[in-house]
Amino acid sequence: MTRKLSYREAMREAMHEALTNDPRVFLMGEDVGRYGGTYAFSKGFLDEFGPARIRDTPLSELGFVGAGVGAALGGMRPIVEVMTVNFSLLALDQIVNNAALYRHMSGGQFSVPLVIRMATGAGRQLAAQHSHSLENWYAHIPGIKVLAPATIEDARGMLAPALADPDPVVIFEHAGLFNMEGELPDDWTVDIASAKVRRTGKDVAIITYGGSLPKVLAAAETLAADGVEAEVIDLRVLRPLDTATIAAAVAKCHRAVVVDEGWKSGSLAAEVMARIVEHAFWELDAPVARVCSAEVPIPYAKHLEDAALPQPEKIVTAVKGLLA
């Protein structure tokens, strides 16, 4: 059996379940209480769970993420919501210099079971300040896990294991997916350690994550109509990367395209390409290709925004270039 729900509803269910089942869990962030969350993820939570567990914070990411670190060190299980990824830069000191390092610098005496959720990505005409894809910045940091749920199943299922993890977990939720609807099976299972094959194929491996997954699946449908069967890999866990699944897909298909909404320079796509070269170089029949965002601040105008971002047509062109 399955039931239909949206990405937003799936994440809301996951948080509701966590708050209901574990009194150590609480939610904090800007507008998560009376307003119900900037994206309506916590609508109704304040009335149900009260202000001690649904905590509106001042407009100070450095301050309230730091409070979350302290609460986690004290035995709580905080879910800290950062409204959008560009605001998280104000809290980098707490995330990178504190949360990520406590286990190492305490010789294993302390852990920080903290979950930080943030909206990421472009495609909604929010212009340069609110269209960042900075997942690779966080995936660079030892001591944290980085997740990018791109399906209803992962939106529903990744929060529980993230809260159970003794170390910090950062969850990037692509805002372009919030209204996406899908079927959630009754017997779903989710982990926060492995990539997932979303479509099987034999001609080319297309590797992606987050908001680019629906575009890659659309491109795969177009390619299939032309007789090209693409294997689609959803990374979904950006740190640690599931190198084995990436290498297996390349060994099977012998060609690979990496699709990443981040900018090409210093991108997560570049890291994936390096892993392919390190672990599956001799399996390749063509150079690895990538489709990334244009190297510009993301424009506001819709036609320019679309032109700057990876699109199904660009993915199809990249694949056909490898097969020519």
Residues in the chain: 324
**CA-based torsion, 97, 98, 100, 103: positive or negative:** positive
Lookup result for tokens 């969350």: 37
Element (H, E) at 249: helix 243-253
Catalytic residue flag (residue 130): yes
Long-range contact set of residues 299-305: C-beta below 8 Å, sequence gap at least 24:
299/127, 299/128, 300/125, 300/126, 300/127, 300/128, 301/125, 302/125, 305/122, 305/123, 305/125, 305/131
HSE-CB at 164 with a 13 A cutoff on CA atoms is 9
Instruction: Choose, from 9, 130, 135, 173, the residue flagged as catalytic.
Output: 130
CB neighbour list of residue 20: distance below 8 Å, 6 or more residues apart: none
The position carrying tokens 């150079």 is 287
Active site residue 61: yes
Q: What separation in angstroms does the CA of 243 have from each of 228, 264, 266, 317? A: 24, 20, 18, 26
Catalytic residue (one of 9, 30, 61, 153): 61
Peptide bond into 240 cis (omega under 30): yes
CB neighbours (10 Å) of residue 257? 25
How open is the CA angle 169-237-200, to the nearest 5 degrees?
160
Residues labelled catalytic: 61, 130
